Amino acid sequence: MTRNNRFLLIALAALIVCLGSIKLLQQRRAAALEPIVLYLPLPHPYCTAVGKGGEAYSRDHGVSVRVVVGQESTQANVSTNIESLFTLGYGAFAVYPVDPAGAKGLFHRLHAAGRHVVAYGAEPERGTETPFAVATDTRRAATAAAEKLVRLLNGQGRILDVLESSTDANTPIRRSAIEAVVARHPGVSIAQTVGDVTTEQKAREKIESALVARGDEIDGVICTGYTTTVAAALLLAEHNRRSGAKRIRFVGLDTDERVLAAIRDGWVDATVAQNPFGHGYLSCALLDLLRQGWIPRSAYTFVDSGSVVVTRENVDSFQGGIEKATAEILAELKTKYLRAPAGG
């Protein structure tokens, strides 16, 4: 054997050892990754509750869940961060589709690479490659809120419609639902629509400005976002407790403790409770089962996580109903939504 051949064999052996070491390192790194990523678009009370649901699933079932919080509620930010996690080797993702159409490309890339992905919080556009979306039936919840406000107004009055982020997938659905309810009641009209607010301070400023500008025209306020609901509830509680002030009726969304306190005290009327805890818990449960080889019964299924109108009568008991809904859905996952793995 020539000297050059010996050198070539030594170099080849070294290369094989190096490649083997790299592969072993990659395998160890992949094994160290949490099986499930629960991605939250930004720091927000709703996202915090979703994260707690994912953490609870992890504790209850001994499955590690990495909860990741993004920087902003835009599809570009969501996609950039998810793709970075995908590159690291994560294999299962629960994702809020901020833009129902824009999420389509991200979900396709994950699906094509053999990753599991479940939507939560909002429905992606039809045809998006995910077998499940776990969310509130947004249209039904907004319809229930609007109908409740109409009843509080006895079918007569002018409404201030306060929307949250214009980039949120659910905002146009909620607006459409409210407008449809108002169209069915000739005695009710929308005096003004206020939109694109994402902080309590900005919401308070816009609501207060609208009430000042409209004077006594506003008879009711409806909010379909978390931060707008908190701002409106606090503002209207101040207004409604003033001696001689005209009562402005109010229905909001979500269950911030300050809103519930105002309902208990009777200063505001109602809010709609969603199930963000269930959004996190159930999406992680579905991903865990998909990882184990369970097969979706349909190409796509919307899983309604439930909602309820909260008033003074049920403000201290509604949570039990929400928790019951989560437990019932969880118990049905293997019979209603999934089939057992082949040979299982």
Q: How many residues does the chain have?
A: 344
Split at pLDDT 50, 70, 90, the class of 7 is: low
| Residues 268, 144 within the same domain | yes
Q: Which helix (H) or strand (E) holds 55?
A: helix 45-61
| Residues 220, 289 within the same domain | no
In a domain, 197, yes or no: yes
94: alpha, beta or left? (left if phi > 0; alpha if psi -120 to 50): beta
| Residues 251, 158 within the same domain | yes
Three-class SS state of 43 = coil
Which residue type, as a one-letter code, is found at position 276?
P
In a domain, 16, yes or no: no
Task: Give pLDDT, residue 8.
Answer: 55
| Residues 168, 266 within the same domain | yes
The stretch 234-249 carries a mean pLDDT of 95
| Residues 149, 165 within the same domain | yes
In a domain, 23, yes or no: no
Task: Give pLDDT, residue 71.
Answer: 95
The stretch 276-296 carries a mean pLDDT of 97
The stretch 126-154 carries a mean pLDDT of 97
| Residues 181, 234 within the same domain | yes
Q: Does residue 278 or residue 215 have the better pLDDT? A: 278
In a domain, 18, yes or no: no
Mean residue pLDDT of the chain comes to 91
For residue 29, is pLDDT > 50?
no
| Residues 129, 253 within the same domain | no
Q: Does residue 166 or residue 74 have the better pLDDT? A: 74
For residue 185, is pLDDT > 80?
yes
In a domain, 24, yes or no: no
> How far is it, in rounded angstroms, from Cα 118 to Cα 65?
14
Q: How far is CA 121 from CA 37, 51, 77, in A?
A: 15, 12, 17
| Residues 207, 229 within the same domain | yes
In a domain, 15, yes or no: no
CATH number at residue 221: 3.40.50.2300
pTM of the model: 0.85
| Residues 225, 331 within the same domain | no
Split at pLDDT 50, 70, 90, the class of 344 is: low
In a domain, 8, yes or no: no
Which residue type, as a one-letter code, is found at position 29?
R
Over 18-36, what HEC string results? HHHHHHHHHHHHHHHCCCE
| Residues 282, 265 within the same domain | no
CA 76, chain centre distance (Å) = 17
Which residue type, as a one-letter code, is found at position 330?
L
In a domain, 175, yes or no: yes
Task: Give pLDDT, residue 23.
Answer: 44
Task: Give pLDDT, residue 105.
Answer: 96
Split at pLDDT 50, 70, 90, the class of 304 is: very high
Q: For 46-71, write each residue's pLDDT tens digit.
A: 999 999 999 999 999 999 999 999 99
The stretch 318-338 carries a mean pLDDT of 95
| Residues 160, 101 within the same domain | no
Task: Give pLDDT, residue 22.
Answer: 40
> How far is it, in rounded angstroms, from Cα 39 to Cα 303?
18
Short-list 276, 288, 305, 295, CA closest to 341: 295
| Residues 143, 259 within the same domain | yes
For residue 18, is pLDDT > 60?
no
Total number of domains constituting the chain: 2
For residue 343, is pLDDT > 70?
no
DSSP state of 216: G
> How far is it, in rounded angstroms, from Cα 69 to Cα 52?
12
Task: Give pLDDT, residue 21.
Answer: 43
Q: How far is CA 258 from CA 15, 51, 270, in A?
A: 64, 21, 12
Q: Which domain holds residue 37?
A: 31-136+276-306+317-339
The stretch 105-129 carries a mean pLDDT of 96
